[in-house]
Amino acid sequence: GAVVSQHPSWVICKSGTSVKIECRSLDFQATTMFWYRQFPKQSLMLMATSNEGSKATYEQGVEKDKFLINHASLTLSTLTVTSAHPEDSSFYICSARVVMGLANEQFFGPGTRLTVL
Amino acid sequence: QKEVEQNSGPLSVPEGAIASLNCTYSDRGSQSFFWYRQYSGKSPELIMSIYSNGDKEDGRFTAQLNKASQYVSLLIRDSQPSDSATYLCAARVGRDDKIIFGKGTRLHILP
């Protein structure tokens, strides 16, 4: 499958600081990327859809001013968690959409574990 | 509200047996379905995608789709201890390519 990378793989920060997470498609161009969040023993929850060159579409209940998404190129999307608080501690995972013929699939990055102290 | 439902398990299966995982979905308009495997602390890995009614086989995995019953399943033949993981069923909904996930079924293969 297609390769998606994320950086950093884990980060610990103090409450009130901002954290940027990068998501890259390594061997393909991704016009659409998705950001998910997963709390322990819970399923993946879609936060937002990131489209290259346009504003992200946020899911209901996700604060767009707190979770800033930038998809400036066909291989890079970033998620910035602004003024992070302990309740933002979670596993953040991006995915990229790959369309090949009739197949339309999503491949996930390895995830970023954020811990806010 | 569009949902994907799965039994959370755990489902325990002896090594070498067939593991059967099931999923139902609420959106009749969904056309694309996926099974992902997720190991603890890792991100999901796509195992199978299925778009048409019937069976789709890939190695030891067989996905089955029944759109009339809004039912998707995954069979794992010759189960191995390395198959122990959480299996997430997912469906694409709406026109904007969003994929929604079930809560996952924990599978435990007994050596």
Tokens of B80: 């191995």
* pLDDT at residue number B85: 97
Neighbours of A29 (CB within 10 A): 11
Q: CA-to-CA distance for B14 and A70, rounded, in angstroms?
A: 47
Tokens of A77: 């999307």
Query: Which of A35, A44, A49, A100 to probe by mutation at the B interface, max B CB count within 10 Å?
Result: A44
Q: What is the mean pLDDT of residues A75-79?
A: 94
CB B18 within 8 A of CB B106: no
Q: CA-to-CA distance for B74 and B24, rounded, in angstroms?
A: 12
Q: Quick check: A1 pLDDT over 70?
A: no
- The model's pLDDT over B65-110, given as tens digits with 9 standing for 90+, comes to 999 999 999 999 999 999 999 999 999 987 667 888 999 999 999 9
* pLDDT at residue number A8: 97
A111 contacts B42? CB cut-off 8 A: yes
Q: What mean pLDDT value characterizes chain A?
A: 92
* pLDDT at residue number A109: 95
Tokens of A63: 């604060």
Q: Which long-range contacts (CB under 8 A, 24 or more apart) does A51-57 make?
A: A57/B96
- The model's pLDDT over A2-46, given as tens digits with 9 standing for 90+, comes to 789 999 999 999 999 999 999 999 988 888 999 999 998 888 999
- The model's pLDDT over B22-68, given as tens digits with 9 standing for 90+, comes to 999 998 889 899 999 999 999 999 999 999 999 999 999 999 999 99
- Backbone φ and ψ of B29, nearest 5°: -80, -10
Query: Which of A50, A106, A107, A112 to probe by mutation at the B interface, max B CB count within 10 Å?
Result: A106
- Grouping H, G, I as helix, E, B as strand and the rest as coil, residue B22 is strand
* pLDDT at residue number B74: 98
What dihedral do alpha carbons B86, B100, A36, A3 form, nearest 10°?
70
Residues 58 to 117 of A: which have CB under 8 A from any B CB? Answer: 91, 93, 97, 102-111, 113
Residues from chain A contacting residue B45 (CB–CB below 8 Å): 108
Q: CA-to-CA distance for A65 and B3, rounded, in angstroms?
A: 27
* pLDDT at residue number B93: 84
* pLDDT at residue number B32: 92
Spacing of C-alpha A94 from chain mean position = 4
Residues from chain A contacting residue B34 (CB–CB below 8 Å): 105-106
What dihedral do alpha carbons A40, A41, A44, A46 form, nearest 10°?
-60
* pLDDT at residue number B13: 97
Beta bridge partners of B98: B93
Nearest residue in chain A measured CA to CA from B105 = A43
